[in-house]
Each structure stands twice: as structure tokens, then as C-alpha cells.
Amino acid sequence: MQAPGQKRKLDIGGASSLAAQAPGGMAINPYSGRPFTARYWEILQQRQRLPVWEQRLDFIDMVKKNQTIVLVGETGSGKTTQIPSLMLEALPNRGRKMIACTQPRRVAAMSVSKRVSEELDVELGEEVGYNIRFEDMTGTKTILKYMTDGMLLREAMADPTLERYAAVILDEAHERTLSTDILFGLIKEVLVQRPDLKLVVMSATLDAGKFQTYFDSAPLMRVPGRLHPVEIFYTPEPERDYLEAAIRTVVQVHLCEPTGDILVFLTGEQEIEDACRKTSQEIEGLGDKVPPVLVLPLYSTLPMDRQRQIFDQAPGPRKPGDPPGRKIIFSTNIAETSLTIDGIVYVVDPGFAKQKVYNPRIRVESLLVSPISKASAHQRAGRAGRTRPGKCFRLYTEKAFKGELMEQTYPEILRSNLGSVVLQLKKLGIEDLVHFDFMDPPAPETLMRALELLNYLGALDDDGNLTELGSMMAEFPLDPQIAKMLLYSPQLGCSNEILSVTAMLNTPNPFMRPRENQRAADEAKGRFNHVDGDHLTLLNVYHAYMNNQESSSWCYENFINARSMKSATSVRAQLMRIMNRFGLELKSPDFQSKDYYSNIRKCLLAGFFMQVAHLERTGHYLTVKDNQVVALHPSTVLQHKPEWCLYNEFVLTSKNYIRMCSDIKGDWLIELAPHYYDLKNFPQCEAKRTLERLYLKKSRAGS
Ligand SMILES: Nc1ncnc2c1ncn2[C@@H]1O[C@H](COP(=O)(O)OP(=O)(O)OP(=O)(O)O)[C@@H](O)[C@H]1O
Ligand SMILES: [Mg+2]
């Protein structure tokens, strides 16, 4: 490597191929206008070894000759980090237009953009930035923007031909998230209108033929090879208990394998927290003869600061001369694609993930633990062997891998409630959903359910056209029910409070429960409880935080996560700006008034009237109209069993649970949503009989 500042040839590619030579021989970064730092040259050497680098000239040539390219390259070959910067080079005449690279996951968008900012030797948030929901790390100088697929879709609402971009790179296309699938159809149309726009669709594990056909016979670029090998091991016999097997494998790796960190894939928060605890205990129990470990969880509802800890260094040796410690990460499939966590050498893959499923008949979307696909298994293995050779332990047999796993995971659009998607498509001006060019069209019944939901919420009229209310709802980066509740809140005079509840619902759980202090944490949480439910409990937390001047030490003393609260205030401010734009008034009811809390609860119902359960005489709850037996989730603060209970989520585990619950009154149902609680359209059940009495009472009172 040459020392910075020395005279050198400038045709080594990357930003340096565009670099200008300043007087005195110093190479200048064309993007920032500053001389390159030593770090730039150091990383450049690593980049030059990547398989994608080998083909950079071919890629640039292909971009010049084609509008769309499908690119398939092994995990870790350099797609996500190199292709977007190559695109900058391929399109020198892009003017002020940017390059967008989408990621299905927020943590990937953030961490990859950080890496690329280092590679291009610029500050993150300046020339290279990221944009995820409620967090925009870009600025006026940004030319390369990593973003979640959902954010690009949102931008398309205001900028339907994506004028701000010279190229769009849809990364991890095999994941087939809802947003990526919609972007496929949209961008396909934009490409016709904008011959100058370039599109790259890429992944390590996509069915290239299918994508090429869909994108009008786009050419395929294959990048063979990876930087470091990954050795795969299978279990000889099926494992009965994958959690126990995973922990056992981790302990064995720690005891027997050379230095290197471990990444384990599990299915959800509870399981991951359990595994973290058990693994720490087990390894601590082995005494100080074995090296120390840092055990970390990773799941999407974990506050961002704790998610970022996965990039921390592993602990050092217990004493000089001893082997170094290890980092052990237990993660959901949010770490399955895209991520490079430096130091990960071992991957443990039990072969399961929680997958979204939607049953349009009973309108329930839930997460079910299911076997993963071959593509997922491949991606998981690909998290090892990125910065050195790796090993992947699959806790299933090779026979099961070959014979039982599906090739690809089903596209999310076939497994989801499409309420938000349909609202967004309507806002994008797509009237005819049936003829939209979906790569895989959703089931007609699912589309019908989405139209029905939006019609009940008042977002679509009876002919399926977007109403003014619907158009406003679509502007909020929120579920349609929550957007409706927010838009209705000024009418009930409680928009300030509903805004706070909404912000809290859209930030990670604020309640901390450290292992060593569980009782004190539960007591602290108890002080925020509101008898009428979980929403008002969240509001209590928010108010208490504000009354204590947003103090971090107050948070600490009360077992509240300060980062979550900071995030809640930021989310609240962003939503407030959208409300202001529409001229929606921010009001608070008189705190002394007896209607203070009931108006807030009524307003929840204005959005969630289709998510209500009724307590039957037998003592269990039935969801209204769909008649599913459900129980209050153990996390609820509701101590009494209210006759009517509103809920935000339907959780399917060993039993059906409803989560995030509030007590509401039967009278409010017929007051706020008579169109939905129209008894002509109601199955026979106890709820119907109760409602009949309420209607009767109301008509008597009226006459
Ligand atoms: N944060 C980082 N620290 C160290 N090395 C990194 C980092 N990010 C990327 N790299 C290096 O760059 C390589 C390419 O990463 P990149 O994310 O571009 O791969 P990819 O082809 O997109 O892989 P995948 O299909 O898994 O998303 C990695 O294998 C690793 O060697
Ligand atoms: Mg990638």
C-alpha cells in the first residue's frame, strides 16, 4: 500500500478513478473535495479483493447499455457495498440526482451505509446517508442513499416518477417483502416514462429467470465466488428441541473451536432473551478456565442503541496470554440478510423463523414459527465467512435440507393483510388493483378484505375511490387504523394525547426489566398502570417523562428506557408536522374533566372499531363478528375483565391472545361506528344481543 500523499497512479478504480490530483501530488476525494485519509487506502485494499470488484468494468459497461439489470452474486461478494458506488461512477452525468439502494431491514440500511461512508471516505449523513422510518440521516449533499424499501415507496407518493433518483437498486430482492414487491410493479412503469432511470435488482439467492422475465428480459450479471469459504455441518439426526440444541452447540463451539464470534438464529424476543440468559449462566458456570463471553440479543423491537451493540468488540482475554473472549449474538431473521458483523465466524441455524400468515376469512394476521426456506438457510450461512473463513452449524439433517425445505420463502404479499398496501397504491394513483403488474398477485379475498377495511375506515368510498380522509391517512407512515384515530382526534378534542399514544405505539417497548432487578422493575411499571388499559398506561409514561423534563436519570430510576422515550418524542414531533401541514388542531381536554380519559378511549375506538372482543357469559372473549376465542395477553395491565375490549394485535402462540388492550363501552360502538355495528350484517352471538339492547335503549332515549 502506498502512503497517503504519495504520488500514485489514479486508475485503481472506486472513487479514486475519479480523483483529482491536487498540487503536491495529494489525491483528492471527488465526492467530498478533501484529500483521502489513510483509512480510505486501507479499506480500498479490502474492497479490491471482493469478487464484485473483479467485474466492475463489466458492470459499468452493462449499466451504460441497459436500463435494467438482474444481478446475482454470492453472500459477501460485495453487492451491497460496491454496486451503489459503482453506479455513481457509471452515471457521471446524473446531475443532482441520487442513487437509491433499498434494504428490507432498518438495521441493514444503517450499518451498510456506515460502512460505505467509510469506504468512500465521507461523513455518514453527508454524501452517503440512510433513511428509515422516523430517522432521516441524509442531507443536501447526499448522492448515495441507503433506505428501507418502505421509505422509497413512501417517497414515490410525492414523487411518482422518482425524479430525485438516477438509479434505484432493489437489494435482497429474494426476500419479496411487501414494499419491494410493490416497488417492482411501480418502477417497471416508471422505467417506461423515464428512459434515463436505471434499475438493478439484486440478491445472492434469487430465481434469476423469473426476475428476468418479469423485467422484460433484462440481462443477468452473475458474480461468481466469495472472499472466504463457509463450511456447512448438519446434524446426523433430527433435533427434538432446537432451542436446547442451539445452546448446546454454542457452548461446544465456545469450548472447542478457535477464536471467533457466534451468531445464532432464533425465532422471537422471548426465546432470544431466554437463550441469552441460559447461555450466560451455563458458560459462567464453567468457571474462569474458559474465556469470557458477551451475550447479546437482536430483534426488531429492541431499542436501536441496544441493536447497535452487536457491532461492539468481543471481550478480551481474562488475563494476558489467555485466549480472547467471544461475542455471542442470538438474533431473529433481521440479521439473516445483508449484515456484516465483523468477527462472526460461526453461525448456528436451527432452521426456524417466525413467519407472517394472514387468514382473510377471520381477518387475522399473525406470526407462526415455521421451517425456513433453502434461500434463508443459504443467507444465514452467508453471515459467516465475511471477514475470514467461517462455519455454519445447521441443526437439521442434510436430508431434511434437501428434501423438506422450500426453495424460496413465499412472498409476503401472499401472506399479509393488505390494508396499508392498498391505501398506498390508491394514493399512488393506481385505481385498478386487479390489473396492477404484481410479480405474484395476492389472493382476491385478501384484496377484498383490504378494500372493505378501508371503506369502513372512510378512506375509500363505496366505489373504491380514495376519499379526502383516505388521502390524508396515506400521508402518515402508520397503519390505516392508527392514522384514522389520529385524524379523528381533533374532533374529540384530544389530539395532543392521541399523538402521544401514537408515538409511544411506534417506538420500542419503554419498560426495562433487567434480570437482577425484576421485582423493582415490575413495581416501577405498576406505578404507570392505568385501570382502563395499556394505551393509557403508555400515555402515563409519556406524561411522566415530560413532567420530569425528559430526564435520563428519571428514566433510569423508573426502569424506563431513555432511548425509547427520546425516540417517542422525535416520532411525535414528526407526526405533529404532518398534522400541522393538514391544519389539524392540537387540542387537549381539560384534565379535571370527567371525560378526559373516556374521550381518549373513544378516539382509540374511532380507529380500531373492527378490533374489539366481547366477554361472553362463559368467561372467555370472542372477537366481534369473526367469533374467534381469544384471551387477554399476560402483558396487559387490565385487571378486571371488561365487557368490551379493544385490541391492537392478535397474537397466535399456544393460544389466541389479544395484546395492547383497552376497556371500552358498548354504547361507543354504536355511536362511533354504526356502519360497522349494523346488526343487519351481524352473525348471531351474545355481542349481537347486547348491541340490540343498546340500540333499543338509544332509540328510546331519542324518542
Ligand atoms: N462493516 C464491515 N466491516 C468489515 N468488513 C466489511 C463490512 N461490511 C462489509 N465488509 C466486507 O465487504 C464484503 C462485502 O459486503 P457486502 O455487504 O457488499 O456483500 P453482499 O454481496 O451484499 O452480501 P449479502 O448477499 O450477504 O448481502 C464483506 O464480505 C466483508 O468482507
Ligand atoms: Mg448485501
Q: What are phi and psi of 133, to 5 degrees?
A: -55, 130
Q: Is 542 helix (H, G, I), strand (E, B) or coil?
A: helix
Strand partners, 128: 124, 144
Query: Ligand 1 atom closest to Cα of 73?
Result: 21
pLDDT at residue 679 is higher than 70: yes
258 Rama sector, left if φ>0, alpha if ψ -120 to 50, beta otherwise: beta
Q: How far apart are the first and last CA of the chain?
A: 91
Please give the number of the atom of ligand 1 that sits closest to the Cα of 77: 21
Provide the pLDDT for residue 20.
47
Sheet holding 390-394, edge to edge: 230-234, 390-394, 344-349, 261-265, 326-331, 293-298
Longest dimension (CA), the chain: 94
Q: With bands split at pLDDT 50, 70 and 90, how would you rate the model's confidence at 608?
A: very high
The alpha carbon of 293 and the centre of ligand 2 are apart by a number of angstroms equal to 28
Residues with Cβ within 6 A of ligand 1? 50, 73, 75-82, 115, 204, 227, 337-338, 340, 342, 382, 386-387
- Average confidence (pLDDT) over 13-42: 73
Tell me: pLDDT of 624 over 80: yes
**Of 69, 101, 97, 65, nearest in space to 82 by CA:** 101
Ligand 1 pocket test, pick from 337, 386, 392 with the greatest ligand atom count within 8 Å of Cβ, gives 386
Task: With cut-offs at 50, 70 and 90, classify the pLDDT of residue 5.
Answer: very low
**How far from chain centre, in Å, is Cα 349?**
21
Placement of cell 417506461 in the chain: 192
Is it the case that residue 369 has pLDDT exceeding 50?
yes
Q: Mapping DSSP to helix (H, G, I), strand (E, B) and coil, where does residue 703 land?
A: coil
Percentage of the chain beyond pLDDT 90 is 89
- Check the CA dihedral 588-592-597-602 and report its sign: negative
Q: DSSP strand E in 216-292: where?
A: 220-223, 230-234, 261-265
- Return the ligand number nearest the Cα of 112: 1
Atom of ligand 1 nearest to the CA of 115: 1
> So what's the pLDDT on residue 590?
87
In the numeric block, which cell numbers belong to residue 265? 438464529
pTM: 0.92
Residue nearest to atom 10 of ligand 1 (CA): 340
pLDDT at 516: 85
Q: What is the three-class DSSP state of 619?
A: coil
Q: For position 25, what pLDDT does the model report?
A: 56
Residues of the chain with pLDDT > 70: what percent?
A: 96
Tracing cell 467509510 back to the chain, one arrives at: 118
Average pLDDT over residues 407-433: 95
Task: Tell me the CA–centroid distance for residue 515 and ligand 2, in Å.
Answer: 35
Asked if the model's pLDDT at residue 99 lies above 50, the reply is: yes
Ligand 1 closest atom vs CA 111:
1
Mean residue pLDDT across the chain: 93
pLDDT, tens only, 555-569: 999 999 999 999 999
Angle ∠(300,306,307) on CA atoms, nearest 5: 45
* Strand bridging mode 390-394 / 230-234: parallel
For Cα atoms 472, 474, 477, give the angle at the middle one, nearest 5 degrees.
Answer: 115
Please state, as a whole number, how many other Cβ atoms lie within 10 Å of the Cβ of residue 476. Answer: 20
Task: Using the predicted structure, report yes or no on whether residue 39 has a pLDDT greater than 50.
Answer: yes
Question: What per-residue confidence (pLDDT) applies to 653?
Answer: 78
The predicted-structure confidence for 276-288, as pLDDT tens digits, reads as follows: 999 999 999 999 8
Measuring CA to CA, how many Å separate 432 from each of 241, 260, 450, 540? Answer: 48, 53, 14, 44
Is residue 484 over pLDDT 50? yes
Provide mean pLDDT across the span 395-403: 97
Residues having C-beta closer than 5 Å to ion ligand 2? 79-80, 338
Is pLDDT at 519 greater than 50 in this prediction? yes
Is the pLDDT at 302 greater than 80? The verdict is yes
Residue 130 CA to residue 145 CA, distance in Å, equals 5
pLDDT tens digits for range 443-479: 999 999 999 999 999 999 999 999 999 999 999 999 9
| Contact indicator for 119, 86 with CB cutoff of 8 Å | no
Identify whether the C-beta of residue 379 lies closer than 8 Å to the C-beta of residue 425: no
Give the separation between CA 603 and CA 589, rounded to whole angstroms.
12
What is the band of 3 on the pLDDT scale with cuts at 50, 70, 90?
very low
Q: Are 666 and 672 in contact (CB under 8 A)?
A: no
Give CA–CA dist 120/37, Å, rounded: 10
- For residue 611, which phi and psi values (nearest 5 degrees)? -120, 75
**Which distant-in-sequence residues (6+ apart) come within 8 Å of 128 by Cβ?**
113, 116, 117, 120, 122, 142, 143, 144, 145, 146
CA atoms within 13 A of residue 556's CA, in its CB half-sphere: 3
Question: Helices (H) and strands (E) in the chain — how many of each?
Answer: 25, 23
Q: Of 430, 422, 496, whose CA–CA distance to 457 is shortest? A: 422
Backbone φ, ψ for residue 469 (5° rounding):
-60, -45
2 pLDDT more than 80: no
Among candidates 559, 513, 504, which has minimal Cα distance to 537? 504
Nearest ligand to the CA of 337 is 1
Is residue 226's pLDDT more than 70? yes
- For a ligand 1 pocket test, name from 81, 85, 383 the mutation site with the most ligand atoms within 8 angstroms of its C-beta: 81
Listing DSSP states for 470-526 in one string gives: HHHHHHSSS-HHHHHHHHHGGGGT-HHHHHHHHHHHTS---B---GGGHHHHHHHHH
Q: What's the CA-to-centroid distance between 387 and ligand 2, angstroms? A: 14
DSSP labels, 439-473: SSPPPHHHHHHHHHHHHHTTSB-TTS-B-HHHHHH
Atom 12 in ligand 1: residue holding the nearest Cα: 78
Check pLDDT > 70 for residue 141. yes
Q: What is the pLDDT of residue 304?
A: 83
- Do the beta carbons of residue 520 and residue 558 sit within 8 Å? no
Residues 587-598: what's their mean pLDDT?
A: 90
Under the banding of pLDDT at 50, 70 and 90, the label for residue 54 is: very high
Q: Is the CB of residue 391 less than 8 Å from the CB of residue 415?
A: no
Atom 24 (ligand 1): residue with closest C-alpha? 75
Instruction: Render pLDDT for 169-209 as a digit per residue (tens, 0 to 9).
Output: 999 999 999 999 999 999 999 999 999 999 999 999 999 99
**What is the structure's pLDDT at 4?**
39
| CA atoms of 627 and 614, how far apart (whole Å) | 9
How many angstroms does the Cα of residue 305 sit away from the middle of ligand 1?
A: 22
3-state secondary structure at position 426: helix
pLDDT score of 8 more than 80: no
